[in-house]
Amino acid sequence: MNVNTDTLVSMTEASQMARLVDEKGVAVIMKNNTPRYVVMEFKQLEEEQLASDEDVLTLSKRYMDKNRRAYLELAK
């Protein structure tokens, strides 16, 4: 995962938000009484991404199994 350094905030600036995330695991920032942003630990984000990748692999396997004859014909 690439991180845009223009979007980094120092811990000093974000200490209150960081404490909330440390205590609760995630924080939601509201704008105009509507959930707008989610703040979570970077490790949790990586775990979410891994789960998403696993879902893609599961779907790919299912499609390959379902359409095996077509794939074998295309491979000729």
* Whole-number Å distance between alpha carbons of 15 and 63: 46
Q: Are 60 and 42 in contact (CB under 8 A)?
A: no
Domains contained in the chain, number: 2
Confidence (pLDDT) at 11: 80
Domain shared by 72 and 51, yes or no: yes
Instruction: Look at residue 33 and tell me if it is in a domain.
Output: yes
Instruction: Look at residue 4 and tell me if it is in a domain.
Output: no
Domain shared by 32 and 62, yes or no: no
What angle, rounded to 10 degrees, do the helices at 68-75 and 42-66 form? Answer: 80
Domain shared by 45 and 75, yes or no: yes
3-class state of residue 43 by DSSP: helix
Domain shared by 45 and 34, yes or no: no
Q: What's the token pair of residue 67?
A: 């359409």
Per the structure, the complete domain to which residue 25 belongs is given by 11-40
Confidence (pLDDT) at 51: 63
Instruction: Look at residue 6 and tell me if it is in a domain.
Output: no
Q: How confident is the model at residue 50 (pLDDT cuts 50, 70, 90)?
A: low
Domain shared by 27 and 51, yes or no: no
